[in-house]
């Protein structure tokens, strides 16, 4: 009998407690209609075909669109056309200048001990070798630390081969650890007298695709050419070094810089209502590397963000805050599109109250992270609850955001980050194999659902998105 009395007693206690605290409790972050609309978005996303069709259209009709190229211009025209077709408001461009590097041809051969020619790609921004190429002995080092530990003169007049292989991770952290060799390796080697660099691609793939990506020349070192080879070829080159015989290489690249070119980021909105002056910004990038057609990098992000705005624009209820999609120019070559956007919106930086970026493939989304003012964490918890049918993991509040929102994020804009699963992303990223065939339509729909739900609730939040004061380095 006493057992049966417990629930009644607890019930009474809770009633008393609720009554006592009701006066101090903030209003619920989301009302019932917001949550119902979130469920509608999730359901519509789960049968959406528009996002996939956007990637199909962009990759088929535009294809490669590296900064400064004809494809870059075609992509801007495509984005304007598609945003208008989808009924976005305030469709416009934000002009920017972009570097205009041209790949040309590239060749990589092992001359000794065992002659072999291997597929290669110049790193983005690499100087060429001159048409005759460079033929010299090579030194293998694992990474920048191993290079720095070599005796003086060890790489003088030689080609340095960086052999380190990146780790496969879900959150992309393997990339961050490995990529320093690509960005900084050429100048570090040049400072020590090397005449060229070959890197094992920053890649998790066992397929024979070299991966490009931007290098960054230091102003203090000679600019030397730098190429990447695939993992299987890097393994084969390691075996050549392991034979103990001297390794002689030939590299050739006709890559070169042309004068900077005009380009533009493309903007479109779903207008808000009572908080229309507050902007929830959805960023992705319109440019791509040239060897592939940019389906996962970043056609998928373009499609997710345009798809989210379209789904929200199609609801009966209109968002409180304005949803602004920005398809940034030139993410890959120094984020000048993002920098120009912030400059053009200098007076309105504080109006950007919440940011989302999709630049990590087609998903699925597996985690919800954030970088918000801690007072808002209960609201993020509520959003996470609304995402329950998508079975995400609750991430931390240390989200690093993407490269294109770095400028706004540094200025205190909160970030919500539906985390795209990057387990296989670095198999394809920055390769010729970045095609539509790498996009899983089911994963894309799930990602669309996760982003749409999160963006929508972010736009409806009953409180104020307070600014964030801590700084975090961007992931990419």
Kindly list the residues in this chain that would bind a copy of itself in the complex (CB under 8 A): 56, 59-64, 70, 114-116, 119, 206-209, 231-233, 235-236, 239-240, 292-293, 432-433, 435-438
Neighbours of 441 (CB within 10 A): 14
Q: Which is nearer to a copy of itself, 286 or 293 (CB)?
A: 293
Min dist CB 431 to a copy of itself, Å, is: 8
Nearer to a copy of itself, 253 or 454 (CB): 253
State which residue, 332 or 434, has the beta carbon closest to a copy of itself.
434
Q: Least distance in Å: CB of 373 to a copy of itself?
A: 44
Would you say 214 and 123 are in contact if contact means Cβ atoms under 8 Å apart?
yes
Helix or strand run (H / E) with residue 138: strand 134-141
Residue 153 Cβ vs a copy of itself, minimum distance, rounded to whole Å: 30
Contact criterion met (CB below 8 Å) for 356 and 303: no
Answer yes or no: are the C-beta atoms of 60 and 229 closer than 8 Å: no
Hey, what are 422's tokens?
């990057």
CA quadruple 150, 151, 152, 153: dihedral sign: negative
> Is the distance from CB of 133 to CB of 251 less than 8 angstroms?
yes
Query: Which CB atom, from 78 or from 465, has the smaller least distance to a copy of itself?
Result: 78
Of 247 and 457, which has the nearer Cβ to a copy of itself? 247
Output the six-digit token pair for 463: 């409180």
Q: Between 64 and 172, name the residue whose CB sits nearer to a copy of itself.
A: 64
Checking 55-58 for CB contacts under 8 A at 24+ apart, the result is 55/295, 55/299, 55/300, 55/302, 55/303, 55/362, 55/436, 55/439, 55/444, 56/436, 57/82, 58/294, 58/299, 58/302, 58/303
Work out how close the CB of 205 gets to a copy of itself at its nearest, in angstroms, rounded to a whole number.
9
CA distance 152 to 288: 39
Sheet of strand 256-270: strand arrangement: 89-102, 256-270, 321-328, 275-285, 352-357, 415-420, 365-371, 393-394
Min dist. Cβ of residue 159 to a copy of itself (A): 19
Q: How far apart are CA 416 and CA 388, in angstroms?
A: 16
Contact 203, 230 (CB under 8 A): yes
Dihedral angle sign, alpha carbons of residues 140, 141, 147, 151:
negative
Structure tokens at 387: 């995402």
| Shortest Å, Cβ 53 to a copy of itself | 11
In this complex, which beta carbon is closest to a copy of itself, that of residue 266 or of residue 432?
432
**CA–CA dist 92, 27 (Å, integer):** 37
Smaller CB separation from a copy of itself, 164 or 438: 438
Tell the smallest beta-carbon distance from residue 113 to a copy of itself (Å): 8
Task: For the CB of residue 114, give the shortest distance to a copy of itself in the complex, in Å.
Answer: 5
CB of 231 or CB of 397, closer to a copy of itself: 231
Q: How far is the CB of 203 from a copy of itself (least distance, A)?
A: 12
């Amino acid at each position: 009998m006493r057992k049966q009395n417990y629930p009644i007693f607890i019930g009474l206690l809770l009633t008393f407690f609720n009554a006592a605290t009701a006066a101090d409790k903030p209003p619920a972050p989301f009302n019932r209609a917001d949550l119902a609309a979130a469920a509608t978005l999730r359901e519509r996303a789960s049968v959406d075909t528009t996002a996939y069709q956007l990637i199909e259209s962009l990759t088929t009709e535009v294809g490669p669109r590296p900064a400064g190229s004809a494809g870059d211009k075609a992509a801007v025209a495509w984005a304007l056309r598609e945003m208008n077709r989808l009924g976005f408001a305030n469709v416009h461009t934000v002009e920017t200048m972009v570097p205009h590097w041209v790949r040309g041809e590239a060749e990589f051969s092992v001359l000794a001990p065992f002659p072999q020619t291997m597929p290669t790609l110049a790193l983005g921004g690499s100087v060429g070798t001159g048409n005759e190429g460079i033929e010299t002995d090579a030194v293998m080092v694992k990474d920048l630390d191993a290079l720095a530990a070599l005796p003086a003169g060890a790489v003088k007049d030689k080609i340095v081969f960086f052999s380190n292989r990146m780790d496969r991770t879900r959150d992309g952290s393997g990339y961050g650890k490995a990529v320093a060799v690509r960005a900084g390796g050429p100048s570090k080697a040049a400072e020590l007298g090397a005449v060229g660099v070959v890197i094992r691609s920053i890649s998790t793939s066992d397929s024979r695709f070299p991966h490009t990506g931007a290098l960054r020349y230091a102003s203090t070192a000679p600019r030397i050419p730098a190429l990447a080879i695939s993992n299987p070829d890097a393994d084969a080159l390691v075996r050549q070094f392991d034979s103990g015989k001297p390794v002689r290489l030939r590299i050739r690249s006709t890559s070169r810089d042309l004068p900077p070119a005009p380009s533009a980021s493309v903007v479109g909105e779903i207008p808000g209502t009572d908080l229309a002056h507050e902007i929830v910004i959805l960023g992705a990038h319109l440019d791509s590397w040239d060897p592939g057609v940019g389906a996962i990098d970043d056609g998928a992000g373009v499609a997710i963000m345009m798809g989210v705005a379209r789904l929200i624009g199609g609801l009966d209820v209109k968002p409180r805050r304005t949803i602004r999609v920005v398809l940034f120019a030139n993410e890959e070559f120094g984020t000048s599109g993002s920098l120009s956007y912030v400059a053009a919106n200098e007076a309105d930086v504080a109006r950007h109250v919440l940011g989302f970026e999709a630049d990590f493939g087609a998903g699925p989304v597996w985690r919800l992270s954030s970088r918000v003012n801690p007072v808002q964490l209960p609201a993020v918890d509520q959003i996470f609850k609304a995402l329950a049918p998508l079975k995400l993991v609750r991430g931390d509040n240390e989200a690093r955001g993407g490269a294109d929102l770095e400028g706004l994020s540094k200025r205190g804009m909160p970030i919500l980050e539906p985390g795209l699963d990057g387990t296989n992303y670095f198999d394809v990223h920055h390769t010729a194999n970045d095609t539509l065939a790498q996009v899983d339509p089911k994963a894309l729909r799930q990602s669309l659902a996760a982003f749409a739900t999160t963006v929508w609730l972010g736009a409806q939040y009953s409180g104020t998105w307070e600014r964030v004061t801590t700084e975090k380095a961007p992931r990419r």
